[in-house]
Amino acid sequence: MSILLAVAHVPTVSAITHVPAVHAAAGPSPVMLAISLLFGMGQIAVGGGLVLRGLRGGRWRRLGIYATMVLGAWFVCSGAVELFVSTLTVTAGAWGLPASGTLARLRGGADGGLVWASLALVVLACLYPVWLMWSWRAPRQRTDP
């Protein structure tokens, strides 16, 4: 509770940098938005590559590959949230849509979605030993003629 109260009393950006509040509310620069969009696309590409690499040939059974796949899946989720929030910021700056209150709610929902996806991936990581046990006990089909 004390952490939340401490965060509530953090000075604003305009108070720290001595910039009038009008300029601080203008939002991030176009260069920063472009970097954010590229970063989100890179996260999706790298994370997707890690997941696909682990799926080939049943390689996911190795602990290191499985952990890399879970990390890659988190990169995909984080990149998707980054793209979503950056796109919202671009549209808000260009067309004024959505409204600032809606924009804040959507950003909060995106962050909440990333938290839930992170928790689901932690559960998925914890299921690794169970999946190994089931995959070794599964009956194998004979391929003899």
Query: What predicted TM-score, i.e. pTM, was given to this entire model?
Result: 0.70
Please give the structure tokens belonging to residue 40: 């989100």
Residue 119 or residue 57, greater confidence: 119
Residue 76 or residue 129, greater confidence: 76
pLDDT in tens, 30-73: 888 889 999 999 999 999 999 999 998 878 888 899 999 999 99
Is 17 inside any structural domain? no
Is 125 inside any structural domain? yes
3-state secondary structure the chain: CHHHHHHHCCCCHHHHHCCCHHHHCCCCCHHHHHHHHHHHHHHHHHHHHHHHHHHHHHHHHCHHHHHHHHHHHHHHHHHHHHHHHHHHHHHHHHHCCCCHHHHHHHHHHHHHHHHHHHHHHHHHHHCHHHHHHHHHHCCCCCCCC
Expressed as residue numbers, the domain containing 102 is 28-135
**Burial label, 116 (beta-carbon count in 10 A; 0-12, 13-18, 19+):** exposed
Is 55 inside any structural domain? yes
Q: Output the pLDDT for position 142.
A: 58
Is 4 inside any structural domain? no
Of 56, 74, 54, give the one whose Cα is nearest residue 64. 54
**What is the Cα–Cα distance from 63 to 34, expressed in whole angstroms?**
36
The count of structural domains within the chain is 1
Is 70 inside any structural domain? yes
Is 99 inside any structural domain? yes
Is 141 inside any structural domain? no
Is 22 inside any structural domain? no
